[in-house]
Amino acid sequence: MSPTKQIARLLGLPPEQDRLVGDVIMCREFAGPREVCAALAEVASLNRQHEEALSRLWADQEVAAVEIPGAARAVTRARELGFAVGLVSDIWVPYYQAFLRACPDIAPLVDYAALSFRLGRKKPAEELYRAALEALDADPRRSVMIGDTYEKDILPAKNLGLATIWVLSRPEREYPAMARVLWGEWPRPDIIVPDTSRLARALDELEQKRRGTCTWK
């Protein structure tokens, strides 16, 4: 369960208010859980038990990240192919710190991170993608977005002219988007893979397509 949902449940908020919690924790750069509690007081009443639970959640999130199999190989391959590497992420401070610790082979290869807590916006806001493209001096027509959520990752990237690789690792969450793609309402990703272990190969296919020696599948 995402930290947004965990906090909303902890505070007894209805599901329709999850977004309010997300707008707080994912869009501000907090120094610690005390600042989180002060900010959340804008949307809910907190007591001592809530504050203690939020402090535990912060500590848990600082060590919660694990490297996804195939991710380091994919990022390394992207660099080998000449890509600059950017992150575009809805994330809050403790989990980003966990990523840096858990992924020592990936973090140093990242040239720019467009993070929601730094930019004050969440996906699918195009400002996040534009910030990454501008920071990397990247031409959208020669760039590729890799993501596992169609509406937040693939669609905004398509709207900006990027090639896309959809990691369809959680199809049960993506059924509505899958249907709209099949019906032709939303553009089809350039490549679809079932998990991150296929990403390095997918990047090779994109490069072959650029050179005119392969047809995207």
pLDDT single digits (tens) 157-215: 999 999 999 999 999 999 999 999 999 999 999 999 999 999 999 999 988 887 764 44
Provide the mean pLDDT of the chain. Answer: 94
pTM: 0.91
The total number of residues written for the chain in this structure:
217
pLDDT at 45 over 70: yes
pLDDT at 131 over 70: yes
CA-based max dimension of the chain: 63
Torsion angles phi and psi, residue 98, rounded to 5? -65, -40
pLDDT at 38 over 60: yes
Rounded to 10 deg, the angle between the 48-61 and 33-40 helix axes is: 130
Cis preceding-peptide flag for 124 (omega within 30 of 0): yes
Edge to edge, the sheet with strand 163-167 lists: 144-147, 163-167, 191-193
Torsion angles phi and psi, residue 82, rounded to 5? 95, 5
Q: How confident is the model at residue 216 (pLDDT cuts 50, 70, 90)?
A: very low
